[in-house]
Amino acid sequence: MKEYIESLQQLSKSQLVLALARQRLRETERIAVVGMACRFPGRIDTPEEYWDALARGRSVLTEPRGIPTDSAGRPRWNVSAPDLAPLAGLLGQGAYLDSVDLFDAERFGIPDEEADHMDPQQRLLLTCAAEALDEAGPFDRSARVGVFAGVSTVEYTFACLRNGLGVDGLSPYMGTGGALSATAARVATGLRLNGPVLTVDTACSSALVAAHLAVSALRRGECDMAVIGACHLMLAPFTTGVFDRAGMLSPTGRSRPFDAAADGHVRGEGCGVLVLKRERDAKADGDLPYAFIRASDIHQQGDRPSMAAVSAVAQRRVMSQALAESGLDPHQVHYIEAQANGSQLGGVIEAETIAEVYRRTDPGAAPLHLGSAKANLGYLETASGAAGLIKVALALSHRTVPPQPGVDRPDPAVPWERLSLTMPRAALPWPAEGPPTAAVSAFGFTGTNAHVLMQGADTPQPRPAPRRTVTKGRAHWPAENIWR
C-alpha cells in the first residue's frame, strides 16, 4: 500500500484525475448481453419463441398440463403408487419441460455411462450454454471465459435410491454427475472454457447473483467473457408436497402477480443462459447486444423474524443500492420485472417498496410498468431469475413492454390510486423518455435478494437471424431412475 500511495503522490493533479476517471470508468462500464438460449415450459426452446409468447401475453398455465413424460412417453413418476397418489393432483399442475431425458452426449465428447449419470440440469445448462455461445459468435479460445451457473436441487438419484439401488449399481460418474459444485464446471469442461468457474445457489435469486458476480469479474478483468445462467428441474415429487404444506402453492393452478385473486404459485421448470462481454469489447467485436447490464446488487437482511419471512427493508436496500451504483435517477427506469411470485402479502410489500424506491408514490409521476414472467411460465424457482433477465433483454431489444397475463383485478390491498404503477394489459411501445431502462428483481426464499438494472442499446440495430442449432440427442435415463 505504501508503494502505491507514493506512486500516486508523484502524479500531477491532471494525471491523478485522469487515473481516477479511468478507474471509475472500469468500475461502472456497461456489460453487454451478446448471446442467449433457453428451455421453458410450453415447448419454448429459443429466445425468439419466448418473445413470441411474451408479446402475445401467452400463459402456459392456461394450457393443458399433466405429469411430465420422457421421450418414450413414460411418466416421470408413478402417481398411482400409494405414497404418491395423494400428490397426483398437485404434480399434474406443474409447468414442465418435455423429454428431459434427451441429451446429445456425442456433441460434447461425453461417454454414454457418464451421460446416463449426469444430473439433467447439468446437461441442460451445457446444451443451452453451447447454443448461447454459438449465437454470440466466434471468440478467441485462449480468452478467459467465466462460468457462473445457478442450480439448487440434486434430485436425479433419488429414484434409484427409492428403487433399492445396491453397491453393484454404483457408477464412478455418480459423484460429478450429482454434485452441485460440478454444475458450472460441466459447462467449462464440456465447452473447453478457461476462466473463473462458480456454481451459485441462493435459491430463486441464483441467476441474478450469478450475473452480479460475472459483472464484477468482467469489470475487474478476471475474465474477458462470461456465461451466466440457471437451471431447475423437478425430479423428485415430494418437494411439491413440502411446498404445499408450507402454503406456497396455488390451489387453482395459476400465478396471478399483484392480483386480487392471487393464491400462491405454480412450480415450473426451465433453463436460461446469457453470454456477457464488456461494452468496449462488444463494440470491438462488432456485436449487436440485446441489452446492457448497468448495475446490480445483492443483499441479505438477517435481522428478520424467520428465514422465510418477507423483508421490506431488504427489498428496499437491494433496490436502492443497485440504483445508487447505476447513477440513474429513479424516474429514468421505465419497467420492473418483479419477483411477484403470486403471494398476496408478498405482492403488496413488493409493490409498495418499488414505488418508494423508484419515487412513484406520487400518482402524477411518470408511470412505472410492472410485470412478472411467472404468470407466463409458472415459477421456475432457481431458473426464474434467468427467465426474468432474458425477458427484459428481449423487451429492451424490441423496445416493447409486453402485456402482463394473470391480472383480472389488481389487488385492492395495493394503493394503486396513489401510486404511479401500472400493469400493461396489452403490449406497449417503450416510453420515449431517455435511454430505455428496466430492472429485474429476484428474492431467494432464504433471504438473499438481488436486483439488476439493464438498458437498451442507444441506437438499436436489427439483429441478424440467429445462428441456432437446437439439438435433442438420445435418451440418457437409466431404468432405475424412474419413480415406480
Q: Which residues of 201-219 are buried (b: 16+ CB within 10 A; e: fewer)?
A: bbbbbbbbbbbbbbbebbb
Coil, helix or strand at residue 383: helix
Write down the CATH number for the domain with range 28-463. 3.40.47.10
Percent share of the chain, pLDDT over 70: 95
Is the pLDDT at 277 greater than 80, yes or no? yes
CA distance 122 to 137: 23
pLDDT of residue 25: 59
CA distance 215 to 278: 9
Instruction: Tell me 35's DSSP state.
Output: E
pLDDT band at 1; cut points 50, 70, 90 = confident
The overall pTM is greater than 0.85: yes
Among the residue ranges 24-33, 345-354, 464-473, the one predicted with the least confidence is 464-473
Strands (E) located in 17-78: 31-39
Is the pLDDT at 266 greater than 60, yes or no? yes
Pairing type for strands 437-443 and 428-429 reads unpaired
Cα-based angle 339, 345, 348 (whole degrees, multiple of 5): 70
pLDDT of residue 160: 87
- Look at 429 and 18; give whichever has higher pLDDT: 429
Is the pLDDT at 14 greater than 70, yes or no? no
- Look at 471 and 163; give whichever has higher pLDDT: 163
Is the pLDDT at 208 greater than 60, yes or no? yes
Is the pLDDT at 27 greater than 70, yes or no? no
DSSP-assigned letters across all residues of 290-338: SEEEEEEEEEE---SSSTT---HHHHHHHHHHHHHHHT--GGG--EEE-
Coil, helix or strand at residue 316: helix
Contact status, residue 422 vs residue 179, Cβ threshold 8 Å: no
pLDDT of residue 18: 52
pLDDT of residue 311: 82
Mean pLDDT, residues 155-162 taken together = 90
Mean pLDDT, residues 289-293 taken together = 97
Pairing type for strands 197-200 and 145-150 reads parallel
Q: What is the pLDDT of residues 58-99, one digit of tens each?
A: 999 999 999 999 999 999 999 999 999 999 999 999 999 989
Is the pLDDT at 465 greater than 80, yes or no? no
Percent share of the chain, pLDDT over 90: 81
pLDDT band at 256; cut points 50, 70, 90 = very high
pLDDT band at 161; cut points 50, 70, 90 = confident
Mean pLDDT, residues 131-148 taken together = 94
Is the pLDDT at 253 greater than 80, yes or no? yes
Question: Distances from the Cα of 263 to the Cαs of 93, 255, 308, 339, 445, in angstroms?
Answer: 14, 8, 17, 15, 17
pLDDT of residue 108: 96
Q: What is the mean pLDDT of the chain?
A: 92
CA distance 85 to 100: 23
Mean pLDDT, residues 164-170 taken together = 88
pLDDT band at 367; cut points 50, 70, 90 = very high
- Look at 446 and 296; give whichever has higher pLDDT: 296
pLDDT of residue 22: 58
pLDDT band at 235; cut points 50, 70, 90 = very high
Q: Which residues, in sequence order, are CB contacts of 401 under 8 Å at separation 6+?
A: 334, 335, 369, 371, 395, 424, 427, 428, 429, 430
Mean pLDDT, residues 229-236 taken together = 97
Strands (E) located in 174-240: 197-200, 225-232
Mean pLDDT, residues 281-291 taken together = 96
Mean pLDDT, residues 28-45 taken together = 95
Is the pLDDT at 239 greater than 60, yes or no? yes
